[in-house]
Amino acid sequence: MALKYCPECGSQVSEFAIQCIKCGYPINSNNNISKTSYLSNDKINNSEVSNVYAWIIAFTPIIGTFVQGFMFGFMNSFNSNHYYNFDSFWWVYIVLNSIFCVVDIQNLQKNNINTKGKYLSLWGFFFVPVYLFKRAELLNQNQTYFWIWILAFLISLFI
């Protein structure tokens, strides 16, 4: 078995590999895979990438607090036999973060940015600040979204 190098990240891969194990770049052109040309970090034009979802994710702690409060009031106004605790709607944050992270990752992939080797989807589901940090690192941007999320989280603790 011969080894060759990935044209994207330079790691060694098998000559029969469909895609690079490290970065997910398509290797063999004769396989039935998408011929999308992924952009490496230094080739990304930041002006073409929409940051709308990143900003929504950054403010999700505050948005989630208001959605949680709305659901708390809504559920308690219609069901007088059962009192819902405000903390019983903790899952709102997970749902909001997951939805916006998935949409943001799809937006990045639509702009031909390789997100496969960065585990962005895992970070988006489990620890959102790391997702925002890794996203900014991938796009060669500053970590403003990360710090805004931290600030929004601290503010949401006092709302």
Distance between CA atoms of residues 101 and 132, nearest Å: 9
69 and 117 part of one domain = yes
Q: DSSP character for 82?
A: S
Q: How many domains does the chain have?
A: 2
Per-chain mean pLDDT for the chain: 80
Nearest residue to 108 (alpha-carbon basis) of 36, 58, 60, 59? 36
- Domain that includes residue 17, residue range: 1-35
pLDDT in tens, 59-117: 999 999 898 888 888 877 777 676 677 677 788 888 898 899 989 988 988 888 888 76
- 37-56: average pLDDT: 70
Beta-carbon-side half-sphere exposure of residue 48 (alpha carbons within 13 Å): 10
Distance between CA atoms of residues 5 and 38, nearest Å: 16
65 and 113 part of one domain = yes
Q: DSSP character for 85?
A: P
C-beta separation of 113 from 23 below 8 A:
no
Distance between CA atoms of residues 152 and 157, nearest Å: 9
65 and 137 part of one domain = yes
